[in-house]
Amino acid sequence: MPTLPNVIETRRLTLRPWNEGDAAKLYRYAKDPEVGPAAGWPAHTSAEESRQIIRDVLSTRGTYAIVLKETGFPVGSIGVMSPRMHHADVQSGDRELGFWIGKPYWGRGIIPEAVDALLGQCFAAPACHAVWCGYYEGNEKSRRCQEKCGFAFHHVEPNSPVELLDEVRTKVFMRQTREQWLARRGRRGKAECALGLPMPGWVAARPSMDSTVTYVLRPLR
């Protein structure tokens, strides 16, 4: 997997590595039974357990705490990894995204903003042809969020083991190709430029004679 930045900034967010000092904040949201089990992991039972999970799981390279700039506190997690499914359409340079957000922040566009930033990082690597994402059947919130982020249905894997919960579920996999991502960014960029606003991943290229600004897409590095 290509090297990812240690810290990524967006308009409202800082994506940075987790640290043990985040344990209490992690526990605050990860103890909610509506958060973890839907994503395939059990609700946390104590701040000490959250601290151990930071050490053992969330310290993996490519995993970021989603930190709100307005508070400086983490409210969720997002990570990039090699695809975990076995399918003929998965290519060696492809990547998979996983994420969750605390319930008080559902519906505020935080995950799409974080996903946009990481998609830019993934597709900056020439070998990445597609980014994958998934959800367990019945998790309609996750499905809608992934569709909003530009992912489209690809295939279903029935009887997929959920090891941390000792059960099996049907898992739905979504995919976004480089071409789909570029097309989506192009459409959104034109709309934002009409308002004089840059999208994450778009940078000011040159001012025009009428004082407007043209934005061009450049890979996030």
Q: What is the CATH number of the domain that holds 36?
A: 3.40.630.30
Domain membership of residue 200 (yes or no) is no
Segments forming the whole domain that contains residue 95: 8-179
The reply to whether the predicted model has a pTM over 0.75 is yes
Would the pLDDT of 195 be above 50? Answer: no
Question: Count of domains in the chain?
Answer: 1
- In this structure, is residue 3 part of a structural domain? no
Residue 187 resides in a domain: no
Residue with tokens 């990524």: 8
Q: Looking at the domain assignment, is residue 205 inside a domain?
A: no
Q: Could you tell me whether strands 152-162 and 167-177 are parallel, antiparallel, or unpaired per DSSP bridges?
A: antiparallel
Span 18-62, pLDDT tens digits:
999 999 999 999 999 999 999 999 999 999 999 999 999 999 999
Residue 126 lies in a domain: yes
pLDDT of 188 reads 65
- Please check whether residue 116 lies inside any domain of the structure: yes
Q: Is residue 112 part of a domain?
A: yes
Long-range contacts of 78-83 (CB under 8 A, 24+ apart): 78/15, 78/111, 78/114, 78/115, 78/118, 80/1, 80/4, 80/118, 80/121, 80/122, 81/1, 82/1, 83/132
Mind listing the pLDDT tens digit for each residue in 88-125?
889 989 999 999 999 999 999 999 999 999 999 999 99
Q: Does any domain span residue 149? A: yes
